Amino acid sequence: MASSREDVVGEILALNGEDVPFAFAAFEGGVVGVWDYADAKWAGLLAAGQISRDYELTVTLHDDGSYSLLDETHDTQTRLDTKGLHHERSFFKGTKRTFSFNASFAPIASDHGQVGNTFGWKFDTEEMKEPVREILTRHGWIPRNRSFLDRLFGR
């Protein structure tokens, strides 16, 4: 028998803290976690730019004791160089595993508001998903089987 939704939500919210780069908040059907893993600006001799990358994990707790996880990413990059101004935006909603890292140098750079000569990030969706799955499993919640169309349309 699965533990109550309130117990599970409370334990997932307890993952929040100073030592983790993400934060969870409750909503009526479960919890949502947000991780702003890249927020950098830089200026160099031949180029300047800005990167913003966010990841969101929605954990929906269904009445039958099952759960579903939904990933959402937002990526924005703006760059000014000798060839002009470039702006790129991308968005994803569905299920995926992502791992990325970056370390860059520029004469002037800021990373999440801290000024210096470097900026970068290390990001792995499993760093956020794994403890959530452990909590859900320990409390008797099972992953919900989703149809192909549900997975395709991020439901």
Write out the chain's pLDDT in tens, 155 residues: 778 999 999 999 999 998 888 999 999 999 999 988 776 676 776 677 778 888 999 999 999 999 999 999 888 888 887 888 888 888 888 787 776 656 666 666 666 666 666 656 577 889 899 999 999 999 999 998 866 666 566 55
Give CA–CA dist 106/113, Å, rounded: 15
Q: What local confidence, expressed as pLDDT, does residue 95 receive? A: 80
Q: What local confidence, expressed as pLDDT, does residue 84 receive? A: 86
Tokens 């990413």 identify what position? 73
**How many distinct structural domains can be found in the chain?**
1
Residue 114 lies in a domain: no
Of 69, 52, 45, 80, residue with least CA distance to 136 = 69
Instruction: Give me the count of residues in the chain.
Output: 155
Please write the tens of the pLDDT for every residue from 17-40: 988 889 999 999 999 999 887 766
Give CA–CA dist 101/141, Å, rounded: 32
End-to-end, the C-alpha distance of the chain in Å comes to 25
Residue 47 lies in a domain: no
Residue 49 lies in a domain: no
Tokens 């801290």 identify what position? 114
Residue 133 lies in a domain: yes
The model's pTM is 0.73
Residue 78 lies in a domain: yes
Q: What local confidence, expressed as pLDDT, does residue 3 receive? A: 87
Residue 89 lies in a domain: yes
Q: What local confidence, expressed as pLDDT, does residue 128 receive? A: 92
Containing domain of residue 88, as a range? 5-38+54-98+125-152
Residue 109 lies in a domain: no
Tokens 């991308």 identify what position? 90
The count of other CB atoms within 10 Å of the CB of residue 59 is 25
Q: For residue 37, give Cα distances in angstroms to 42, 94, 138.
A: 16, 19, 28
Residue 119 lies in a domain: no
